């Protein structure tokens, strides 16, 4: 059996990976806290945020959230019971149901976005040029 050779990670790459992990963990922690402040789970908040941008079919929501369609159905059911989301037929294909944020749902999603300080505060410490550079670097990483 051939052994796979593992190349060691250089210290700079390791530090960058650890820093990215810390940023992601802090973002998720604050997102969960912000969601709880609106009596939502993190999954409900993410779904509502997506629907505040545009109505989406349930299957596309499942793909965007990287979960099973049956999970999305349950999340939509709970948000619909609170009056934050509604189901309606897709005007282009009446067999397809779209989930859409209600006006109250869009207001809650806006409040959720406004309560997320973690991203805003550290980014405010960077100049516009630094934020533009960071944006380009992140886009480059995601395109790879």
pLDDT value of residue 117: 73
Average pLDDT estimate for 92-115: 93
Mean of the per-residue pLDDT values of the chain: 90
Name every residue whose Cβ is closer than 8 Å to that of residue 101 and which is 6 or more positions away in sequence. Answer: 48, 51, 52, 55, 84, 85, 109
Distance CA 104, CA 39 (A): 14
Average pLDDT estimate for 107-125: 83
Average pLDDT estimate for 117-138: 86
Whether residue 71 is predicted with pLDDT greater than 90 in this model: the reply is: yes
């Amino acid at each position: 059996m051939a052994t796979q050779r593992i190349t060691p990670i250089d210290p700079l790459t390791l530090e960058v990976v650890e820093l990215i992990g810390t940023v992601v963990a802090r973002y998720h922690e604050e997102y969960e806290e912000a969601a709880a402040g609106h009596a939502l789970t993190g999954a409900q908040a993410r779904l509502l945020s997506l629907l505040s941008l545009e109505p989406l079919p349930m299957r596309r929501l499942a793909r965007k959230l990287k979960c099973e369609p049956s999970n999305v159905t349950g999340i939509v059911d709970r948000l619909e019971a609170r009056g934050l989301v509604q189901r309606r037929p897709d005007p282009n294909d009446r067999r397809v149901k779209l989930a859409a944020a209600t006006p109250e749902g869009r207001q809650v999603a806006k409040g959720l976005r406004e309560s997320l300080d973690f991203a805003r505060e550290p980014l405010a410490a960077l100049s516009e040029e630094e934020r533009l550079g960071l944006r380009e670097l992140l886009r480059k990483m995601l395109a790879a």
